[in-house]
């Protein structure tokens, strides 16, 4: 049997794409306008995708040094970064949700645009391959690779440049993000059966468990201080500006000697005009041999250099610097360079081992313990000190305190207004009662612990 078969060369490309006789789509005026609008929309979507993807990398790659640098800047763009970082988990969820929506919008918009603009006559598989290449390659490059590579190298600059777009995305998706975060936390709590405070207590119990069973309350309190110390900032342990006393550079020698006798501090900062212009530090020990000197004695030569530290520095880091540089005193500054307060080696030590009292402390109590469940504090006492004195974790009020650092600030934050004397403000297991007000300042506040379930 003899078969004469004639074979023609097959062009695989033409077979798949079927474009041997292509026909270009001709758009009327209305379709052209729609295509232009879709093109502009696609460009906007890619810009937002670039910003959102890069922001995930930038905002969550900040180290402590980056945050401290940002806090020293006064431009609104840097303040925007700090505002967005106040709720990091919610921000992360919002950016992730936005990414999903943006990618879906880009896919559907691009697909619709390709259907109306490309050459007709392409087979189904050819059109599918074209869409995959035309859609996912730009997404991979513009939405993932390029922004994350740039943000990884210049995280602060990226966050500053794209902060406005990130803020828009955050405020648009924050409600959905908040709901998802709440659901996630509830699911985690139901699975693992623990919250942050219980986890803290477990860690503390484990640490105490390795010590002697008959360990004293003092030893347990010190151990608790050690465990929480790595989360404490200088701002939380410092003496606030309102409690800082110093010596004006313009004072005469007799005035300085009188001032030293009145204040009775070992070390005092020296300032020009106001506390924001610190020029140095004096030690009372250097002035004891000067008793009897003439009134025109130049005391300024006894001024030593003062050490400045940012309020957001971790207390543990400052302790190491104190030890390395043999220092015992530092001036704490805020992001604008103004004086927030002072911090001493004793302040840091007290954060670990508890309050160290001397005669002056007894004369100037800032709180009174009525019993284990009732305390009266001065309003100016730092929240961190209140937590330490009562014996609760230092982050107990972090969720509700806002930007407040003092007990008075916490109560004002909770009340939303200046409360009246005797008014009780509730916060979980704690009740706060204002005992004394002077010129709209909360002078005395009663803290009542209610542990009844």
**Does some domain include residue 31?**
yes
Domain end point (choices 183, 210, 243): 183
Report the CATH number that the domain containing residue 443 is assigned in CATH.
3.30.465.10
Contact 252, 295 (CB under 8 A): yes
Q: Considering the domain boundaries, does residue 173 fall inside one?
A: yes
Q: What is the DSSP string of 236-303?
A: HHSEEGGG---EETT--HHHHHHHHHHH--SEEEEEESEEEEEEEEEEGGGTGGGTT--TT--GGGG-
Q: Mark whether 241 and 330 lie in a shared domain.
A: yes
Residue 222 has pLDDT above 70, yes or no: no
| Mean pLDDT in residue range 364-372 | 79
What residue numbers bound the domain in which 270 lies? 233-353
Residues 94 and 171 in one domain: yes
Identify whether residues 134 and 41 lie together within a single domain.
yes
pLDDT at 451: 61
Q: Mean pLDDT throughout 1-22?
A: 47
Segment 412-425, tens digit of pLDDT = 888 888 888 888 88
Mean pLDDT of 42-67: 83
Task: Say yes or no: 145 and 218 in one domain.
Answer: no
Residues 93 and 215 in one domain: no
- What is the structure's pLDDT at 375? 92
Q: pLDDT class for 432, splitting at 50, 70, 90? A: very high
CATH of the domain at 348: 3.10.580.10
34, 37, 38, 42: CA torsion to nearest 10: 170
Average pLDDT over residues 287-300: 88
Interval 284-291 mean pLDDT = 87
Q: What is the pLDDT of residue 71?
A: 74
Q: Tokens 């001397």, residue?
A: 358
Lowest-confidence range among 96-100, 131-135, 297-301, 445-449? 131-135
Among 133, 106, 130, residue whose Cα is nearest residue 117: 130
Q: Are residues 203 and 264 in the same domain?
A: no
What's the rounded mean pLDDT across residues 260-284? 87
Q: Is residue 129 one of the residues assigned to a domain?
A: yes
Is 16 a domain residue?
no
For 231-254, how does the pLDDT look when each residue is reduced to its tens digit (9 = 90+)?
Answer: 778 888 888 888 888 899 999 999
Indicate whether 217 belongs to any domain. Answer: yes
Higher pLDDT, 434 or 202: 434
Residue 9 lies in a domain: no
320/347 Cα distance (integer angstroms):
14
Q: What is the pLDDT of residue 73?
A: 74
Q: What is the mean pLDDT of residues 167-172?
A: 87
252 and 337 in a single domain? The answer is: yes
> CB 166: neighbour CB atoms within 10 A?
27
- Are 217 and 120 members of one domain? no
Question: Does the predicted model carry a pTM greater than 0.85?
Answer: no
Same domain as 210, residue 145? no
Please identify, among 353, 378, 405, the residue that sits at the C-terminal boundary of a domain.
Answer: 353
Helix (DSSP H) and strand (DSSP E) numbers for the chain: 18, 12
Let me know whether 284 and 321 are in one domain.
yes
Residue 94 pLDDT > 80: yes
CB atoms within 10 A of CB 336: 11
Are 63 and 168 members of one domain? Answer: yes
- Nearest by Cα to 57 from 142, 137, 139, 150: 150
Kindly state the tokens that stand for 43: 């460009």
Has residue 97 got a pLDDT over 90? no
Nearest C-alpha neighbor of 225 from the set 106, 355, 123: 355
Last residue of a domain, one of 287, 320, 353: 353
Is 358 within the bounds of a domain?
no
For residues 43 and 161, membership in a common domain is answered with yes
Residue 387 lies in a domain: yes
The pLDDT of residue 252:
92
Q: How many domains does the chain have?
A: 4
């Amino acid at each position: 049997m003899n078969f004469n078969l004639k074979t023609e060369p097959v062009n695989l490309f033409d077979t798949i794409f079927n474009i041997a006789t292509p026909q270009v789509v001709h758009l009327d005026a209305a379709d052209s306008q729609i295509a232009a609008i879709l093109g502009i929309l696609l460009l906007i979507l890619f810009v937002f995708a670039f910003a959102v993807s890069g922001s995930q990398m930038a905002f969550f790659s900040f180290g402590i040094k980056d945050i401290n640098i940002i806090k020293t800047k006064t431009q609104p763009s840097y303040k925007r970064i700090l505002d967005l970082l106040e709720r990091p988990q919610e921000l992360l969820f919002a950016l992730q949700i936005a990414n999903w929506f943006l990618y879906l919008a880009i896919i559907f918009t691009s697909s619709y645009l390709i259907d109306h603009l490309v050459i007709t006559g392409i087979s189904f598989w050819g059109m599918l391959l074209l869409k995959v290449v035309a859609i996912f390659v730009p997404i991979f490059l513009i939405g993932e690779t390029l922004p994350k590579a740039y943000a990884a190298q210049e995280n602060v600059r990226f966050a500053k440049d794209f902060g406005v777009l990130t803020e828009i995305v955050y405020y648009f998706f924050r409600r959905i993000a908040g709901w998802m975060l709440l659901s996630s936390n509830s699911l985690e709590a139901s699975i693992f059966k623990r919250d942050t405070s219980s986890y803290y207590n477990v860690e503390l119990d484990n640490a105490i468990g390795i010590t002697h069973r008959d360990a004293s309350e003092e030893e347990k309190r010190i151990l608790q201080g050690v465990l929480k110390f790595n989360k404490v900032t200088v701002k939380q342990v410092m003496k606030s500006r309102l409690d800082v006393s110093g010596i004006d550079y313009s004072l005469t020698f007799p005035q300085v000697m009188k001032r030293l006798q009145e204040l009775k501090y070992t070390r005092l900062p020296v300032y020009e005009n106001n506390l924001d212009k610190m020029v140095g530090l004096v030690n009372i020990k250097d002035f004891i041999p000067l008793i009897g000197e003439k009134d025109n004695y130049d005391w300024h030569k006894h001024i030593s250099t003062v050490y400045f530290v940012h309020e957001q520095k971790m207390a543990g880091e400052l302790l190491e610097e104190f030890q390395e540089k043999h220092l015992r005193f530092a001036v704490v500054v805020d992001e604008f360079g103004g004086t927030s307060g002072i911090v001493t080696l004793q302040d840091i030590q007290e954060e670990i081992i508890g309050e160290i009292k001397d005669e002056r402390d007894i004369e100037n109590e800032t709180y009174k313990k009525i019993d284990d469940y009732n305390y009266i504090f001065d309003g100016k006492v730092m929240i961190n000190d209140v937590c330490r004195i009562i014996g609760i974790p230092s982050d107990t009020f972090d969720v509700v305190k806002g930007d407040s650092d003092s007990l008075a600030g916490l109560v004002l934050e909770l009340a939303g207004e200046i409360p009246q004397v005797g008014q009780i403000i509730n916060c979980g297991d704690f009740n706060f009662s204002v005992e004394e007000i002077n010129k709209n300042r909360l002078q005395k506040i009663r803290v009542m612990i209610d542990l009844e379930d």
